Structure 1
């Protein structure tokens, strides 16, 4: 077995962080203490790490009041790993997932039908960090053989991308150990305790790990150039995806959600990183500090999709990445047109 969770101490820390994150879900956090409109539909969306900057639009839409203005009640639930969020969606525990688009391809390969209804990130925003003591020893993913690599969790997009980068650089994923270490403090603790050699994570965890010399950057997918160099093309990441049957049965509700998100994406484009950070809950800066949070957001603001439309060449890149290593996808006939829809974005009405 080449994919593991971190050991007992790390698991306990991860569990504590997960419980705290769940307590900060939309139904329990101060930012979400608004009263629901009894006449509006209610949707529960599980996000694969609400405090990650790559998932910022979900909470920002709430902070801006755009859900209410669009006429939909939204409960945001924090789940550290996208793979677990997907399973909750399939089980009917939540109606939508804030996670990477590539999960829809993997699901279709398993005979399940889901689709992204709005694309929020044009590129992954992920960074492969390695422990500072390994600088000069680990120079590329070609050096991953025999290494312990941090991912969010099994079946997450960081798991997908790590396996792809390994295989692309001549390392069979079975020759490495991938450990689910979450993000934030659990990721940093795993690196400091040398439970992982390298790991894939996002802002603000990246800035925190770099600030005290814990890690160095091996690969940077926070820019279009870095993403294309690592993955071979445009790799759309964060999206809102839902089971196709639910979308088809609740089109009016989905349209309200997309109206809110398209408006949020436009707001991001017209405001500075400092303006955006000022709208976010204060605990999102915890560990890294507001100044570093703003600096990180300033440098990677270009990751956000300005329109919400799926990038034309993106799905093909995602399929090529998954097809490189994932046996559940390899050899399958995938209809990419069924893994996303631009219908709701094209019909979106701005809220303000």
Structure 2
């Protein structure tokens, strides 16, 4: 099987990502943490900063789990994990140069390409969104499908986030225009739950462990479950690669040794996850992630486990599904020609799995 590696062009050097003015200092600091094929940090190993769109979200579990299992250390990496409440904020940190990698949804790579920013998934954690559309208990009887989104306030982690993208697609697919409902940025966890309780949102898209907490407190019901490949197929018409480690293409090309080490560590974690129970995985995570209910947390992990790949390889039909979904509502992508080959690479994970 041919190892996928997007073709590079000399002109790519001129397409370096523009740092956000307010983060220039951070960008300068980040650029010095891994020079050449991976410069040394503070003596602990090659220093790499990774921003995660919510470290405690189960969909991004491989990020913290890899650190807890000691696999970064085993590769000679000193990885600093940072966290933002939404994937779109992790994206911002990456394109500004504040961090070298982001753990977030693959769909951001397509959106960024239309803006002249070359970013690629180097390890694909998942083959399904891992997202759930939850309806508040008050509206459980009158919101029974995305057709009922018209006139509603729908919770998303952040405007421009993947939950925002997916909510818009589900609405448009059901015949509801994007202008006919209101997306509301409410984050995840306590802020999402509070918005649901107070009526700030009628329904919303979120992930575990937030979903498990909502159901345990009888605050709402599941409308659409996309935590499994089957759920993704039913809601989106195909596999939807979501959580991934994505990086600036220029940085990847200049730091292949470091990227390979990251891929080795993450693929090792994905393999470990595929041979251990949800309870065993929960035991490895920070104690505060369970919020005092280890059984509920393990159950949330179990519900989400089917979304993860075992080898970090991009599902063959995944990129095309993501492109189709985004083109349904995103005017920037609808009229753009997307080079899907440049949105991901399997070069590093294929070596890691070999």
Shorter-chain TM-score category?
A: 0.7 to 0.9
Q: Is 1:221 the equivalent of 2:262?
A: no
Residue 266 of structure 2: aligned partner: 261
Which consecutive residues of structure 2, in runs of 5 or more, have no partner in the other structure?
Answer: 1-40
Residue 105 of structure 1: aligned partner: 110
Residue deviations 1:41-68 (CA, integer Å, cap 9, x gap): 2110000010010000000000000000
Query: What CA distance in whole angstroms lies between the structure 2 residues aligned with 1:135 and 1:118?
Result: 38
Query: What CA distance in whole angstroms lies between the structure 2 residues aligned with 1:90 and 1:267?
Result: 31
Q: How many residues align?
A: 314
Residue 60 of structure 1: aligned partner: 65
Offset of 1:296 from its aligned partner?
2.0
Residue 247 of structure 2: aligned partner: 242
Offset of 1:299 from its aligned partner?
2.8
The equivalences for 1:3-42 within 5 A come to 38=43, 40-42=45-47
2:200 to 190, 195, 208: 195
Query: What CA distance in whole angstroms lies between the structure 1 residues aligned with 2:44 and 2:253?
Result: 21
Offset of 1:323 from its aligned partner?
0.4
Offset of 1:325 from its aligned partner?
0.3
Query: What CA distance in whole angstroms lies between the structure 1 residues aligned with 2:301 and 2:88?
Result: 25
Q: Is 1:324 the equivalent of 2:328?
A: yes
Which consecutive residues of structure 1, in runs of 5 or more, have no partner in the other structure?
Answer: 1-35
Residue 150 of structure 2: aligned partner: 145
Query: What CA distance in whole angstroms lies between the structure 1 residues aligned with 2:129 and 2:97?
Result: 27
What is the TM-score of this pair, normalised by structure 1?
A: 0.87
Offset of 1:38 from its aligned partner?
1.4
Secondary structure of residue in 2 paired with 1:348: helix
Residue deviations 1:317-343 (CA, integer Å, cap 9, x gap): 000000000011011111100000000
What is the TM-score of this pair, normalised by structure 2?
A: 0.87
Query: What CA distance in whole angstroms lies between the structure 2 residues aligned with 1:299 and 1:172?
Result: 31
Residue 91 of structure 2: aligned partner: 86
Residue 346 of structure 1: aligned partner: 350
Residue 43 of structure 1: aligned partner: 48
Query: What CA distance in whole angstroms lies between the structure 1 residues aligned with 2:198 and 2:190?
Result: 12
Residue deviations 1:156-200 (CA, integer Å, cap 9, x gap): 100100010010001111111111100000000000000000000
The equivalences for 1:305-324 within 5 A come to 305-324=309-328
Residue deviations 1:96-139 (CA, integer Å, cap 9, x gap): 10000010010111111000000001111100001111122011
Query: What CA distance in whole angstroms lies between the structure 2 residues aligned with 1:157 and 1:268?
Result: 24
RMSD: 1.2
Query: What CA distance in whole angstroms lies between the structure 2 residues aligned with 1:222 and 1:190?
Result: 22
Runs of 4+ in structure 1 deviating by more than 3 angstroms, as ranges, are: none
Query: What CA distance in whole angstroms lies between the structure 2 residues aligned with 1:154 and 1:346?
Result: 34
